[in-house]
Each structure stands twice: as C-alpha cells, then as structure tokens.
Amino acid sequence: MSTIYAFTTPARGHLYPLVPILTELAGRGHRVKVWTLDAELDRLSGLGVEAAAISPEIEELPLEDWEARSAAQAVKKTFSRWLERAPHEIADLERAVAEERPDLILTDINGWGASAAAEASGVSWATFAPYITPLPDPRVPAFGPGMPPAAGPLGRLRDAAMSRLLGGMLDRGFLETLNEMRGRAGAGPLTTVTEVWTRPPKLLYLTVPELEYERESWPESFRFIGPVNWQPDVESPAWLADVDRPLILLTASTEYQADDELIRTGLEALADEDVFVVATTAGNDPAQFDAPANARVERFVPHGPILERAEAVICHGGMGITQKALAAGVPVCTVGWGRDQLESGRRVEHAGAGVLLPRKKLSSERLRESLALARSRRAGAERIAAAIDRAPGATGAVDELEALLTPSARRPAPAAR
C-alpha cells in the first residue's frame, strides 16, 4: 500500500476540487492523508481520507487583497501573504515527512512553501491547480487585466509589452524573497516567479483546453484533467419545487472578497424581471440584503439542484462556480471581482459560453443587459459541458499520480486468499 500526502492552502475553493481525487486514490487502496482547513477534517474523515489540520498560523493569514485600492496593490497583498504562509507550510510538510516518509506528495499551486519543501524532500511530488495559469506565451494576453486575445502584429506587440511589464513587476517585487525561502527549504532557485507553475514534475490542471487560449506550446508537465466538481452532501431545498419562473443563480465568493455589491446589484437589477433569483451570499452576511419578492437570499444553498434548473448564473468569476455552471450546460455572466476572475470570465466569453462584465462597469442596467446576452449563449455552455464530460476527471488525475509512484507502490498487491 502506498502512502500519499496532500497539502492544501486554507481555501475551500482549492480543497473541494481535490476531494474526488483523494477519494479515488483511497478507493484504489492507497493510504491518503491531507493537511487542510481544521473545519473540514470531520467531513474528510467521513469520506475515508485521513485528515490533519494545517498549522493554525496559516489559517490566521487569510488573503486580504479585497482591501487593496488597485490591481497592483491586490497582487502585492496576495503574493506577500503566500510568502508569509510559506515557512509554516514548510514546517508542516517537513514534520509529516520526518514522521513517515510517503511515496508521493501532492501540493497546492498557491502553497509556495509546501512545494519548495516537497521538491527538496527527495519524494516524488506533483501539484494541482484549480485556476487559470498565468504562464506567459506569445499568443496569450498578459495575465490579470482580462484582455481578449489580439490578432495581428500590433496585437502581438501589445501582449509582449504587457507581459514584460507585468512579469518584470512580479520578479522585481517577489523573486528574491521567494528564492530565499526556497533556499531555506533546500530547493533550488527560480529564474522567474511564474516558474512555480513549471517546477513540479507533473501539474494537474483542473480545466479543459476548450476554456483556454491557444498557445505556442504547453509545458510537458501540464495535464488537463478538467474541473473535478464536488460539494458536501446536502438535501435539495424544499422550496425549490415551488419556483415557477426561469431561475437565475446569483452567487458570491466562498472566501470573503468584499463582493457584497455584486449580490446587492443583482437583486436590484432583477427585481422587476420575470425570473426567480436564488442568491447565495457565501462569505457575506445574508442579513445585510433586502430580498425583493422574486428572490430568496441564503448564505449557502446546494448549487447542484439549482443548476439543474438555472437559466444562467451571475457570479464573481471564481473557477469553482464558473466551471460548475458550465459543466451543467448553464451560461455564466461573470462580474470579474479580482484575482484570476477577469481572466476566467474573459475565457468564458471567448468560448461563447457567457459574458464578462468587469467590476468597474457594474450597474443594474449593465448587469441586466449582460445577463440577457449570457442567456442567449446556452449552446456555447453546452459545448463546454460536453468537453468537461470528456475530460479525464478524478480517474485520469489518479492515473497520472500513480505514474509517479515506483512500481511497487502504484497499486496494492491483491489480498491473499
């Protein structure tokens, strides 16, 4: 029996996509242990996966990019926070490996410390990434602003200049500190910050090519797995059966991102429309919103039953809900709030499966217009749903991980009769 360790950052949007992969590993007879959010340990144990809490110091360092007053400041806050967590991630992983040496380590793409320690451990390792990669490429716009792909020489010139500008800003701001941290962990230096995406021997990329831009080349280590959707088992709400109008799901980020204005504007924009709005506020207090007659506001509602009936989804553009909606063939109106969300929204629009409305342009009128356009793009959403259905998923992800194991550790020997 092989032993596989997994380490996540303190975000359910990174843990939940990993759950089907962990349970598939356990189902094949591997011993699986994950270090993650303390509040999720009982749930994971009930799925047959050993679970331990990441250091409390890591949970005490949440992302606070929502406080930033500019996109550049938001990036600085985010990257600085990842570097603050890194020493605690290194300690967690080194402690675990010292107690029992695993056969394979799986790290979170945002866990810079865990990945450095995994690289230095001498154990086979891989990384999973549940959001769009910022790796530069001559055919891809610079990551962050959500610019559409450009055609012709001038477009290429624009993309190259923006990539140099933004990449240089990251390297000047963080590369030295990142390499100092990696050196303390025993890992080699990087030549650029985005090299954290190509350093792992294998990277499980949790999306499909149909949602990505064409590139001149993809790193050999990347494996398109597709979104691996999972949510805790909960009953469908009884009131859903009484909804007799076209249903719109309006939802905010699971982790607090100060996106309450998205919920407020959505409720206001659709108050007089012939739809029923299910608003899930997630990281925001639902008590702060006044629900019109055609809406229901809850902190959490299981999205699965809602998506079975939804005409469209309005969301912040996080890859979790965006790909979950598309997997159900539901078009998405994304209001890119920050982080990678302008990029995911632009890719959805480029794929003809929805619409991107940048946060700076959010208003009731524009949201109504964007939603109407998104609802007309169901065919595109269904095309992406078909692509997701063809993707390797959790089974393919585990095949890739097992390929990294030594022959004796890949599969447990058959039980003796």
User: Quick one: average pLDDT of 249-272?
Assistant: 92
3-state SS assignment for residue 53: strand
Residues 269-295: tens digit of each pLDDT: 999 999 999 999 988 899 999 999 999
User: Quick one: average pLDDT of 391-399?
Assistant: 98
Determine whether 298 is exposed, middle or buried from the number of CB atoms within 10 Å of its CB (0-12, 13-18, 19+): middle
Q: How confident is the model at residue 406 (pLDDT cuts 50, 70, 90)?
A: confident
Tell which wins on pLDDT, 235 or 148.
148
Name the residue type at position 176: E
DSSP state of 123: S
Q: Are 149 and 172 in contact (CB under 8 A)?
A: no
Which pair of tokens denotes residue 217? 């080349």
Q: How confident is the model at residue 60 (pLDDT cuts 50, 70, 90)?
A: very high
Length of the chain: 417
Q: How confident is the model at residue 26 (pLDDT cuts 50, 70, 90)?
A: very high
Q: How confident is the model at residue 417 (pLDDT cuts 50, 70, 90)?
A: very low
**pLDDT of 333 strictly over 80:** yes
Domains of the chain listed by start with CATH number: 3-226+391-409 (3.40.50.2000), 238-390 (3.40.50.2000)
Which pair of tokens denotes residue 196? 């954290």
Q: How confident is the model at residue 413 (pLDDT cuts 50, 70, 90)?
A: very low
Phi-psi region of 245 (alpha: psi -120 to 50; beta: other; left: phi over 0): beta
**pLDDT of 416 strictly over 50:** no
Chain centroid, CA 152 distance in Å: 32
Helix H or strand E encompassing 332: strand 332-334
**pLDDT of 411 strictly over 60:** no
pLDDT for res 138: 87
Q: Are 132 and 153 in contact (CB under 8 A)?
A: no
Q: Are 193 and 172 in contact (CB under 8 A)?
A: no
| Residue among 273, 146, 280, 277 at smallest CA distance from 213 | 146
Query: Residue 375 to residues 87, 348, 415: CA-CA distances in angstroms?
Result: 46, 13, 53
Question: Please, which residues have CB within 8 angstroms of residue 137's CB and are 6 or more apart in sequence?
Answer: 213, 215, 216, 217
Relative orientation angle of helices 319-327 and 341-350, to the nearest 10 degrees: 20
**pLDDT of 414 strictly over 90:** no
Provide the total of helices (H) and of strands (E) in the chain, helices listed first.
15, 13
CA pair distance 103, 66, nearest whole angstrom: 39
Which pair of tokens denotes residue 52? 């331990």
Q: How confident is the model at residue 350 (pLDDT cuts 50, 70, 90)?
A: very high
User: Quick one: average pLDDT of 166-183?
Assistant: 92
Determine whether 159 is exposed, middle or buried from the number of CB atoms within 10 Å of its CB (0-12, 13-18, 19+): buried
Which pair of tokens denotes residue 361? 């342009």
3-state SS assignment for residue 316: coil
Q: How confident is the model at residue 412 (pLDDT cuts 50, 70, 90)?
A: very low
**pLDDT of 165 strictly over 80:** no
**pLDDT of 335 strictly over 70:** yes
Alpha helices in 55-111 (DSSP H): 56-59, 71-99
